[in-house]
Structure 1
Amino acid sequence: MRVHFHGAAGEVTGSMHLVEAAGRRILLDCGMIQGGREAEARNFEPFPFDPSSIDALVLSHAHIDHIGRVPRLVWQGFRGPIYVQQAGAELLPVMLLDAASLAESDADRENRKRRQGEPEAMPLFTREDVHAVLDLVRPLPYGARTSIAPGVEIALRDAGHILGSSIVELWADGRKLVYSGDLGPPGTPILRDPEPVREADLVLMESTYGDRNHRDRLDTIHEFGDLLEQAWEARGKVLIPAFAVGRSQELLYWFARHWDEWRLSRWRIFLDSPMAAKVVAIYDRHQALFDEDARAVWKGRPDPFRLPNLHITESTDQSMAINRIENGAIVIAGSGMANGGRILHHFRHGIDRRSTHVVFVGYQSEGTLGRRLVDGAKWVRIHGHDHRVNARIHTVGGLSAHTDQRGLIAWYEGFEGRPPLVLVHGEDRAREALAGELGERGPADVRLARPGMVVDV
Structure 2
Amino acid sequence: MEMSLQFLGATQEVTGSCHLLTVDGQQLLLDCGLIQGGKADELRNHDPFDFKPSQIDAVILSHAHIDHSGRLPLLVKQGFNGPIYTHKATAELCGIMLRDAAMLQERDAQRKSKKLKKLNLDPVDALFDEDDVEAVLKLFVPLEYGAQTKLMPHVSVRLSDAGHILGSAIVELWLAEGSEAKKIVFSGDLGRADMPILDDPCLIDSADLVLMESTYGNRLHRSWEETLTELKAIFASTIKQSRGNILLPAFSVGRAQELLYLFHLYAKEWDLSRWRICLDSPMAIKATQVYVNNYPLMDEDFKRFTRLSPGKHPLLSNAEFTSSTEESIELNDIHEGLIIIAGSGMCNGGRIRNHLAHNLWRSAADVIICGYQALGTPGRLLVDGATELTIHGQKVKVAARLHTIGGLSAHADQAELLRWYRHFENSPPVVLVHGEKEAQAVLMEALSENLDTSPQAAAIAEHRDCLDLSKLPKLVWIHAECVQWGRRLR
Please give the TM-score of this superposition, normalised by the length of structure 2.
0.91
1:325 partnered with 2:334: yes
* Residue pairs, 1:232-247, within 5 angstroms: 232-233=239-240, 234-247=242-255
Tell me which amino acid in the other structure corresponds to 2:237. Q
Is the CA contact (8 Å cut-off) linking 2:162 and 2:191 kept in structure 1?
Answer: yes
Q: SS state of the match for residue 305, structure 1? A: coil
Greater mean alpha carbon deviation, residues 348-357 or residues 29-38: 348-357
Match of 2:269 among 234, 255, 261: 261
- Paired residue for 1:147, among 150, 170, 173? 150
**Normalising by the residue count of structure 1, what TM-score does the alignment of the two structures yield?**
0.98
Q: CA deviation at 1:300?
A: 4.4
Mean alpha-carbon deviation: is it higher for 260-269 or for 361-370?
260-269
Q: Distance in 1 between matches of 2:394 and 2:350?
A: 16
2:449 to 430, 434, 440: 440
Matched, 1:451 2:463: yes
Inter-partner Cα distance in structure 2 for 1:342 and 1:244: 11
8 Å CA contact 1:276–1:312 kept in 2: the answer is no
The answer to whether the 8 A contact 1:361-1:399 is kept is yes
Residues 383-428 of structure 1: CA deviation (Å, up to 9, x unaligned): 2111111111110000000010011001111110111100000001
Write the letter of the residue equivalent to 1:383: H
Residue 281 of structure 2 contacts residue 351 of structure 2 at CA under 8 Å; is this kept in 1? yes
1:350 is matched with which residue? 359
Greater relative contact order (Cα < 8 A, sep 6+): 1
SS where residue 426 of structure 2 aligns? coil
Is the 2:279–2:285 contact (alpha carbons within 8 Å) kept by the matching residues of 1?
A: no
Structure 2: state its 5+ residue gaps. 470-490
**Which blocks of at least 5 consecutive residues in structure 1 are unaligned?**
none
SS of equivalent residue, structure 1 residue 336: coil
What pairs with 1:333-344 in structure 2 (closer than 5 Å)?
333-344=342-353
2:136 to 128, 133, 136: 133
Match of 1:283 among 280, 285, 291: 291
Contact 1:58 1:83 in 2 (8 A): yes
Query: Structure 2 counterpart of 1:82, which letter?
Result: I
The answer to whether structure 1 residue 187 and structure 2 residue 199 are counterparts is: no
SS of the equivalent of 1:323 reads helix
Matches within 5 A, 1:19-418: 19-114=21-116, 115-173=118-176, 174-233=181-240, 234-301=242-309, 303-308=313-318, 310-418=319-427
1:433 alignment partner, SS class: helix
Cα distance in 2 for residues equivalent to 1:300 and 1:346: 36
Amino acid at match of 1:355: A
Does the 8 Å CA contact 2:114/2:123 hold for their aligned counterparts? no
Contact 1:60 1:181 in 2 (8 A): yes
- With 236-245 and 442-451 compared, the bigger mean Cα shift is at 442-451
1:430: how far off?
0.6
Query: Aligned with 2:355: secondary structure?
Result: helix
Find the aligned partners of 1:80 and 1:150 in 2 and give their Cα distance. 15
Quick check: 2:261–2:314 contact (8 Å CA) kept in 1? yes
243-252 vs 120-129, greater mean Cα deviation:
120-129
| Cα shift readout 1:290-336 (whole Å, capped 9, x = no counterpart) | 1111112323455322224x111111111111111111000000011
Q: From the CA coordinates, give the structure whose radius of gyration is larger.
A: 2
Question: C-alpha distance in 2, partners of 1:446/1:38?
Answer: 31
Distance of 2:15 and 2:65 partners within structure 1: 10
Q: CA deviation at 1:270?
A: 0.7
Aligned-pair identity (%) = 51
Q: CA deviation at 1:71?
A: 0.3
Deviates more, 1:297-306 or 1:4-13: 297-306
CA distance in 2, matches of 1:248, 1:312: 12
Structure 1 match to 2:487: none
**Aligned with 1:445: secondary structure?**
strand
Task: Report the AA paired with residue 122 of structure 1.
Answer: D
- Give the number of aligned pairs: 456
**Retained in 2: the 8 A contact 1:159–1:167?**
yes
The 3-state SS of whatever aligns with 2:163 is: coil
Are the equivalent residues in 2 in contact too, given 1:22–1:172 (CA < 8 A)? no
Give the conservation status (yes or no) of the 8 Å contact 1:22–1:150: no
| Structure 1: distance between partners of 2:406 and 2:415 | 15
How many Å apart are 1:43 and its aligned residue? 0.5
The answer as to whether partners of 1:10 and 1:425 remain within 8 angstroms in 2 is yes
SS of the residue corresponding to residue 282 of structure 2 reads coil
2:148, 2:438 → 1: CA distance?
Answer: 36
How far does the alpha carbon of each residue in 1:256-290 deviate from its partner, in whole angstroms, 9 at most, with x for none? 11111011112111111112332121111111111
CA–CA distance in structure 2, aligned partners of residues 159 and 282 of structure 1: 18
What CA deviation, in whole Å up to 9, does each residue of 1:342-390 have, x standing for no partner?
1111111111111110100001010000000000001111121111111
Q: Provide the C-alpha distance between the structure 1 equivalents of 2:314 and 2:104, rounded to a whole number of angstroms.
A: 28
For residues 172 and 434 of structure 2, what CA distance do their matches in structure 1 show? 18
Aligned-CA RMSD value = 1.1
2:75 and 2:119 mapped to 1: Cα distance? 31
| Contact 1:438–1:444 (CA under 8 A) maintained in structure 2 | no
Equivalent position SS for 2:456: coil
* Cα distance, 1:239 vs structure 2: 0.5
Give the whole-Å Cα distance in 1 for the aligned partners of 2:192 and 2:243: 34
Look up the equivalent residue of 1:418 and give its one-letter code. S
Q: Whole-Å Cα distance in 2 between the matches of residues 273 and 456 of structure 1?
A: 45
Q: Is the 8 A contact 1:64 1:96 kept in 2?
A: yes
